[in-house]
């Protein structure tokens, strides 16, 4: 099962720039000027939203092509997901160890 | 379906965090029971897959786009709690690192895509386990139920929170969100999630029946 999962994961990761083909935003995730156009105003909460600056907003890295940043974002995502699970496993194993010896 | 910051009222933010927090704590406990050296590569790969397929934006008629989530596949293989926590982790990385989904809306995004998706898929799959289409339907129901929760949360904003008749947060009403969000997920993204779930499930299963790690 592991090898099959890795195969699928690699294929999907290689194909990830296909996700860039659509210029359409997701429904409900429009730019602010969309509201200005449709409603004639931007709802206050949306205009004054407190957003925490993210290091790689919208999966695009400054000065890099769309495809390259998308690939890098995908890889970073993979590393983070795996890394966090890996650390969790280590923590769980350590806890069980200390329980066992106590 | 990744709600950004500023779309939901502070009351909604607090309520969704209050609901999600105990569920995350309990879910983490359940994950710990399943996560070990042997299942790490599997749960890790499935969660990574969820991250990657959410990057495949699929355009649909009407000028919008969407994507599959991958919660259903994890839930039918490892149980709904593992699905919930794994997809929650993916959503957290998306919100913090990539600004995809607001940090204030993170609890809501986790409740819709991760929790609702995982549990609805799990129960649908359990009910019709022996049918060939079970993984497809589990995937379809998962993402459609998730979109229902999002539509509900967004659609009630202009009902409760306005100032001088102007909506303060998400401006469109329930009818609009239900048609646009649930409708598009029934017709398009549900099919995509269903096909994804069935294809990968069948491929993993091979000739080996009853291979689920869910017990």
Is residue B209's pLDDT more than 70? no
Q: Which residues of A touch B204 (CB under 8 A)?
A: 1, 4-5
- Predicted confidence band at B210 (pLDDT cuts at 50, 70, 90)? low
Q: What is the C-alpha to C-alpha distance for residues B24 and B20, in angstroms, rounded to an integer? A: 6
How is residue B197 written in tokens? 């779930």
Residue B215, in any domain of the structure? no
How high is the mean pLDDT of chain B? 94
What total of structural domains would you count in chain B? 1
Q: Which of B55, B74, B93, B159 to probe by mutation at the A interface, max A CB count within 10 Å? A: B55
Q: What is the C-alpha to C-alpha distance for residues B115 and B113, in angstroms, rounded to an integer? A: 6
Pairing of strands B64-66, B58-60: antiparallel
Q: What is the C-alpha to C-alpha distance for residues A61 and A69, in angstroms, rounded to an integer? A: 5
Q: Which residues of B touch A20 (CB under 8 A)?
A: 57
CA angle centred on B112, ends B157 and A61, rounded to 5°: 90
How is residue B127 written in tokens? 């009910």
| pLDDT at A102 (0 to 100) | 46
- Say whether residue A35 is in contact with chain B using an 8 A CB cutoff: yes
Residues of chain A predicted below pLDDT 50: 102
Min mean pLDDT across A31-40, B168-177, B183-192 is at: A31-40
- Say whether residue B162 is in contact with chain A using an 8 A CB cutoff: no
Is residue B215's pLDDT more than 60? no
Look at the block and give the residue holding tokens 């092509």.
A65
Q: B114 with B91: CB under 8 angstroms?
A: yes
Is residue B182's pLDDT more than 50? yes
CA angle centred on B126, ends B19 and A11, rounded to 5°: 85
- Say whether residue B14 is in contact with chain A using an 8 A CB cutoff: no
Say yes or no for a CB contact (<8 Å) between A12 and B52: yes
Residue B72, in any domain of the structure? yes
| pLDDT at B132 (0 to 100) | 92
Q: Which domain holds residue B148?
A: 10-205
What total of structural domains would you count in chain A? 1
State the CATH number of the domain containing residue B166: 1.10.1760.20
- Predicted confidence band at B62 (pLDDT cuts at 50, 70, 90)? confident
Complex confidence, ipTM: 0.92
Q: DSSP code of A54? A: P
As a whole-number percent, the residues of chain B with pLDDT over 70 amount to 96
| pLDDT at B162 (0 to 100) | 93
Q: Which domain holds residue A51?
A: 2-101
Which residue intervals of chain B are DSSP H helices? 10-34, 40-53, 71-78, 80-98, 106-109, 117-127, 134-155, 157-160, 174-177, 183-184, 190-205
Number of neighbouring beta carbons within 10 Å of residue B111: 22
Report pLDDT digits (tens) over B85-141: 999 999 999 999 999 999 999 999 999 999 999 999 999 999 998 899 999 999 999
């Amino acid at each position: 099962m592991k090898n099959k999962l890795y195969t699928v994961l690699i294929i999907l990761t290689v194909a990830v720039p296909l996700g860039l083909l659509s210029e359409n935003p997701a429904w409900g995730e429009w730019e602010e000027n969309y509201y200005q156009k449709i409603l004639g105003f931007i709802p206050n909460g949306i205009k004054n939203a407190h957003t925490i600056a993210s290091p790689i907003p919208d999966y695009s890295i400054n000065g890099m092509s769309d495809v390259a940043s998308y690939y890098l974002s995908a890889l970073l995502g993979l590393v983070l997901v795996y890394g966090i699970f890996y650390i969790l496993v280590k923590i769980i194993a350590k806890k069980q160890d200390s329980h066992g010896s106590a | 379906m990744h709600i950004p910051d500023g779309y939901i009222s502070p009351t909604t933010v607090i309520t969704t965090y209050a609901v999600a927090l105990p569920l995350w704590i309990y879910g983490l406990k359940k994950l710990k029971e399943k996560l070990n050296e042997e299942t790490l590569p599997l749960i890790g790969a499935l969660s990574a897959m969820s991250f990657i397929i959410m990057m495949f934006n699929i355009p649909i008629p009407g000028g919008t786009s969407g994507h599959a989530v991958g919660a259903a596949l994890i839930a039918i293989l490892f149980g709904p709690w593992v699905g919930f926590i794994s997809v929650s982790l993916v959503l957290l990385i998306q919100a913090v690192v990539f600004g995809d989904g607001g940090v204030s809306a993170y609890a809501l995004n986790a409740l819709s895509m991760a929790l609702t998706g995982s549990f609805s898929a799990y129960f649908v799959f359990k009910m019709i386990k022996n049918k060939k289409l079970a993984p497809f339907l589990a995937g379809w129901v998962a993402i459609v139920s998730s979109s229902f929760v999002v539509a509900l949360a967004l659609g009630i904003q202009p009902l409760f929170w306005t100032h001088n008749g102007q909506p303060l947060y998400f401006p469109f009403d329930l009818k609009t969100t239900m048609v646009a969000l649930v409708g598009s997920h029934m017709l398009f993204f549900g099919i995509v999630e269903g096909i994804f779930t069935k294809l990968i499930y069948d491929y993993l299963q091979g000739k080996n029946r009853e291979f689920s790690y869910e017990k």
